[in-house]
């Protein structure tokens, strides 16, 4: 009996000691995709503290819009690529103790053989040289959307700064300069694929290289280019050569900030301890090894330079100053409404019988967001008169094809056409995809557009993908097919189609309108 009692007391004491050494904190972070490589470092700290940490990865605009909501973000901490998005959207000053963890210049990685062909190896390259290569048809590049992702916004702001002659800071009136608009618009004609995520864009480059599709170049973070080249090296593929535009680059400061939800002092202390951990010399060295530059303070460390592809995190770069938030917002609107490469988008909307009632209502609401300029501009996905849009409602077959440009009148016609649709019939998304591809490939001046097919369906489709994929392979351009799932949609069918066409799938089950907005960021 005494032995049993002693065992119980010892077990109880062990549990109490464990509790004393553990914070038992549940801590959540919303982060940009570029921080995926740093999550293991954070999780190690969480494990040592006995805490449970979760990451949610979202685009810069999604993080900003979350901060803008009256209720704010649900997470305990925010970790975007740049404090720009906090300054722009956190008007309620919900974020506290915002602290830079790393410095990440956005530069241009050019396939090394292409860089040699352009005469850029071992020489300073200016934005005017990049512009000349684009105008001559010798260079195209991948770049995230400036309105959805920080790396795209950074590249775009550097283009604006260069077009202004390297002016120290961009002011509101500068954006009305016709020569500046013409120069930056010409540069953006070099975009071959866009996305709402820097990490996804890097994955696209690597996966495409593995399939034998060689893109010329990619705007991305210096550290992300290192990660990309590490993967390419393992595959035996040529690296991207780092081009640091001599007239200036934008640098993300990768800030981590606390959001107080009133969950107690132990949660805020956990954040403070995490911040101290990330700023310790040993951890700073690990962060630097990923190719990131470090803020001043602590031990001075950096990743080893790799001259083979011109990577040098110790190199001084000309850093442009970030404009005031109001100027950034005006610049982003200008990008979306006037300067970006026009979209050529075919939207396949499922109006099969299973969409009756709630499905139909949510699809109509999503169309309201897409085709009401005031609503679309709130989330920076507004169309322009230069865009071309096809709406193809379908069930077991395509019901019709409604075409318009992106001006207000055209959008109103498309919205009216969608409003007339009602659920009924079977489901064949492949039939819609085939007709959508036919409409896209028949478009005059096809190279001047960024084409995409976006399919929304709520169930398992009839038909086979084989015929469409053969048609897709025979097409003169590679058109990504993005999927938006809803209800009981078969995600495996969508995933297979997206993978084959180098696209991705968005989950619209919780927020169909939000899924369409996210998909628009890739086109």
Give the pLDDT confidence score for residue 299 in this predicted structure. Answer: 61
Least confident of 219-233, 270-284, 405-419, 481-495: 481-495
Q: What is the pTM for the complete model shown?
A: 0.90
What is the percentage of the chain residues whose pLDDT exceeds 90?
79
Minimal CA–CA distance to 256: which of 104, 76, 88, 106? 76
Q: Which residues pair with 186 in a beta bridge?
A: none
Averaged pLDDT of the chain: 91
Alpha-carbon distance of 307 to 395, in angstroms, equals 56
Give the pLDDT confidence score for residue 1 in this predicted structure. Answer: 46
The stretch 49-74 carries a mean pLDDT of: 93
Least confident of 283-287, 470-474, 505-509: 505-509
Give the pLDDT confidence score for residue 232 in this predicted structure. Answer: 98
Residue with the two structure tokens 């939207």: 347
Alpha-carbon distance of 198 to 145, in angstroms, equals 9
The stretch 175-183 carries a mean pLDDT of: 96
Give the pLDDT confidence score for residue 298 in this predicted structure. Answer: 58
The stretch 167-172 carries a mean pLDDT of: 87
**Structural domains of the chain, ranges and CATH numbers in brackets:** 24-102+253-289 (3.40.190.10), 104-252+307-332 (3.40.190.10), 342-520 (3.40.50.410)
| Residues 469/475/478/479 CA torsion (nearest 10 deg) | -70
Q: Is 396 helix (H, G, I), strand (E, B) or coil?
A: coil
Q: At 306, give phi and psi (nearest 5°).
A: -125, 90
The string of DSSP letters for 459-488 reads S---S-HHHHHHHHHHSSS---EEEEE-TT
| 231 neighbors 37 (Cβ within 8 angstroms) | no
Q: Is 300's pLDDT higher than 80? A: no
Alpha-carbon distance of 481 to 383, in angstroms, equals 19
Q: Is 507's pLDDT higher than 80? A: yes
Q: What is the pLDDT of residues 325-369, one digit of tens each?
A: 999 999 999 999 999 999 999 999 999 998 888 888 888 988 998
Alpha-carbon distance of 294 to 104, in angstroms, equals 9
Strand 343-350 with 388-394, pairing: parallel
Q: At 257, give phi and psi (nearest 5°).
A: -135, 155
Q: Is 13's pLDDT higher than 50? A: no
User: Which value, in Å, is the radius of gyration of the alpha carbons in the chain?
Assistant: 25
């Amino acid at each position: 009996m005494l032995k049993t009692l002693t065992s119980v007391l010892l077990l109880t004491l062990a549990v109490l000691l464990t509790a004393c050494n553990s914070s038992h904190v549940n801590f959540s972070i919303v982060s940009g995709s570029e921080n995926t490589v740093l999550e293991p470092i954070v999780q190690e700290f969480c494990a040592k503290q006995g805490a449970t940490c979760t990451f949610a990865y979202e685009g810069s605009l999604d993080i900003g819009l979350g901060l803008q909501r009256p209720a704010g973000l649900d997470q305990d901490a925010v970790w975007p690529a740049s404090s720009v998005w906090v300054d722009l959207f956190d008007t309620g000053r919900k974020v506290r103790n915002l602290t830079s963890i790393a410095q990440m210049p956005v530069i241009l990685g050019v396939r090394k053989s292409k860089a040699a062909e352009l005469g850029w190896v071992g020489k300073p390259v200016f934005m005017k040289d990049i512009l000349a290569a684009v105008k001559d048809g010798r260079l195209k590049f991948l770049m995230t959307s400036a309105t959805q992702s920080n790396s795209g916004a950074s590249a775009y702001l550097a283009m604006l700064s260069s077009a202004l002659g390297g002016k120290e800071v961009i002011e509101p009136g500068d954006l009305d300069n016709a020569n500046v608009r013409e120069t930056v618009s010409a540069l953006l004609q070099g975009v071959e694929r866009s996305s709402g995520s820097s990490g996804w864009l890097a994955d696209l480059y690597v996966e495409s290289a593995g399939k034998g599709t060689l893109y010329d170049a990619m705007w991305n973070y210096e550290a992300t280019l290192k990660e990309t080249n590490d993967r390419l090296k393992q595959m035996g593929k040529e690296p991207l050569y780092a081009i640091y535009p001599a007239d200036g680059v934008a640098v993300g400061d990768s800030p981590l900030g606390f959001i107080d939800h009133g969950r107690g002092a132990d949660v805020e202390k956990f954040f403070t301890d995490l911040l101290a951990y990330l700023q310790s010399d040993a951890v700073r060295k690990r962060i630097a090894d990923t190719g990131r530059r470090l803020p001043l303070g602590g031990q001075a460390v950096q990743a080893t330079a790799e001259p083979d592809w011109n990577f040098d995190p110790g190199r001084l770069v000309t850093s442009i100053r970030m404009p005031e938030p109001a100027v950034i917002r005006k610049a982003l609107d200008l990008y979306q409404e006037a300067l970006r490469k026009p979209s050529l988008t075919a939207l396949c909307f499922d109006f099969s019988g299973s969409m009756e009632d709630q499905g139909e209502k949510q699809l109509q609401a999503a169309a309201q967001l897409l085709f009401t300029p005031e609503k679309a501009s709130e989330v920076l996905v507004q169309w322009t008169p230069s865009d071309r849009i096809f709406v193809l409602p379908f069930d077991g077959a395509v019901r019709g094809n409604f075409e318009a440009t992106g001006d207000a009148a055209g959008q109103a016609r498309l919205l009216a056409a969608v409003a007339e649709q009602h659920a009924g019939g079977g489901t064949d998304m492949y039939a819609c995809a085939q007709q959508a591809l036919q409409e896209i490939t028949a478009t005059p001046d096809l190279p001047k557009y960024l084409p995409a097919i976006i399919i929304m369906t709520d169930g398992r489709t009839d038909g086979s993908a084989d015929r469409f994929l053969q048609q897709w392979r025979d097409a003169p351009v590679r058109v990504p097919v993005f999927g938006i799932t809803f209800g009981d949609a078969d995600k495996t069918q969508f995933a297979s189609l997206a993978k084959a066409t180098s696209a991705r799938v968005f989950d619209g089950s919780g927020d169909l309108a939000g899924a369409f907005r996210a998909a628009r960021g890739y086109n």
